[in-house]
Chains A and B, each alone.
Chain A
Amino acid sequence: MIPFLDLLEAYREFIPDFPDLVDHLKRPLPVYFRLNTLKIGLQEAKSFLFTEGVEFKETVIPELVKVLHHDHSRPLISYHLGYIYPQALSSCLPVLALDPQPGETVLDLCAAPGGKATFMAQKMLDEGFIVANDRKRGRITSLLSNIKRLGITNTLVTQARGEHISLPYSFDKILVDAPCSGQGRYRVDPVTGAVKHVVRGKTNLPAIQKALIKRAFDMLTPGGTLVYSTCTLNVEENEEVVHFLLDKRRAYLTKFEPPVESSPGITVFKDKRYDRQLESARRFYPHKIDSVGFFVAKIVKPGTEKDTS
């Protein structure tokens, strides 16, 4: 049992309406379903869910519905037919930032269980080429299962440590949804006040994240786009990692206009100052978007092919 405020108190200074966050975290995480338009039309999928007794409402993301109620004792046939993928709203945001297009070559470096990789395939209309990588065999199983279930044909799955991966391709777009401390998923037990979903471990996450972002950036084609995301609020795992890349490589941040409320990245925290460009990164807080907290930074590699500078 970890007292909630001990964990998140450090972020009080930059999280807007902090008391609202505390209240919000006492409620269970809302459930969202992404509708798989590779197999079924949006309207038809909604009708199907309706016939299954799922109450839902539409969201700002056309492919995503927020589930208001469904009977958990009844298996969802729509799931087995590959019509839906349960996915947090904020988990869709890195894909919207990356904006993969049909025909592009795309890498998802930490892909399992495949929510973002399969959403990318959907956005690409199953055209082009996706490499979906993950380091753990157990997680690869769920990744493969989801790719199959959603009927995707343009994806190659690899198993390698992202920091050291060697692939015979360069990529137009790369997503690094890095392993993180998961603070954005925290929920507070309304009775005891203890924090749930706390990830414990001795792993030096920022070191891994820095190695991942650097390796990913080096695999981009000139003019390519890299999106770095985590589901944590921790500045050391977010802004500091992107700052590291900006320091080590000729990279720059570009703006991403998300469809939900967001806050700019942090440029000053405690005794540290980060690159001013980090204001272009976006922070998504659970109480503002009614989903998991997220961090998303969109980074461009200068070059002649697709340089947007």
Chain B
Amino acid sequence: MPRLLNQEQRRILLRFLWERFKIPEEGLAPYDMFAFSRQAFLFKRQSSPIKWPEGAFVRCGLPFLRNVAGFLKPTTVFIQRFGHFAQKNVMELSEEDVCKLCSDGELILKRLPTSVELPGYVIIKLEGHLIGAGLLLEENRLVCRFPKAMRQAFAKLTLQ
């Protein structure tokens, strides 16, 4: 069963989103946060506390952060839905770079935008569209963190 995060646990996740992406707390204020199977979920807050159905429960809400090797990773679906709140560590890539990132799995960037700090996760945009997350490492090495099916799709084509 999912566990409703208490105020302190919620604050830790919100602080991560603020410090890494400058996503304001208000953006996620209408949502409860739950932890389930190494992932945190955003669930639209209900007028009364949610009761979990016994024996039938599978999942609730949208996974937004995942614990990867002890670090928090924002999910692709979270970035696509809520990435517009982010004010830093957002990178616009060219079609060619997105294609290369997906086909090779990583990309060496010639230079970084001033609002990007390494190392850590960055939000990747293409022509203004929020795509997903990449992991930016030393020496401007950007590692693709898109889901496999999406990587394959982007590797095959670029937008016309």
Contact = CB atoms under 8 A, between A and B. Distances in A.
Given A129-B46, A169-B51, A77 B60 contact: no
A39 B81 contact: yes
Given A77-B154, A80-B153, A153 B62 contact: yes
A154 interface: yes
Interface string A154-174: 111111100001111100000
Contacts of A169: 51
A153 B43 contact: yes
A160 B130 CA distance: 35
A157 B58 contact: yes
B62 to A, nearest CB: 5
Interface string A164-189: 01111100000000000000000000
B58 A140 contact: yes
B81 A151 contact: yes
A157 B131 contact: no
A303 interface: no
Given A127-B44, A154-B43, A159-B56, A148 B156 contact: no
B29 to A, nearest CB: 13
B160 A52 contact: yes
A38 B59 contact: no
A149 interface: yes
B55 interface: yes
A74 interface: yes
B149 interface: yes
B156 A158 contact: no
A158 B43 contact: no
The secondary structure that dominates the B interface is: mixed
B103 interface: no
B68 interface: no
Interface in B53-70: 53-63
Contact of A168 (B53, B58, B157): B53
Contact of B59 (A39, A129, A144): A144
Given A74-B156, A151-B62, A151-B81, A160 B56 contact: yes
A81 B147 CA distance: 11
B59 A82 contact: no
Nearest to A127: B44
Contacts of A62: none
A149 B156 contact: no
Contacts, number: 95
A159 B58 contact: yes
Specify which of B53, B130, B152 lies most central, judged by the most chain A CB atoms within 10 Å of its CB. Answer: B53
Given A80-B150, A80-B153, A82-B77, A153 B42 contact: yes
Contact of A75 (B44, B53, B152): B152
Interface string B85-111: 000000000000000000000000000
B129 interface: yes
B55 A39 contact: no
A133 interface: yes
B137 to A, nearest CB: 25
A152 interface: yes
A165 B62 contact: no
A129 to B, nearest CB: 6
A166 B58 contact: no
A61 B59 CA distance: 30
Nearest to B131: A81
Contacts of B44: 126-129, 153-154
Given A80-B154, A81-B130, 12 more contacts: A38-B81, A75-B157, A80-B150, A81-B80, A81-B131, A82-B81, A151-B62, A153-B61, A155-B61, A156-B53, A158-B53, A167-B53
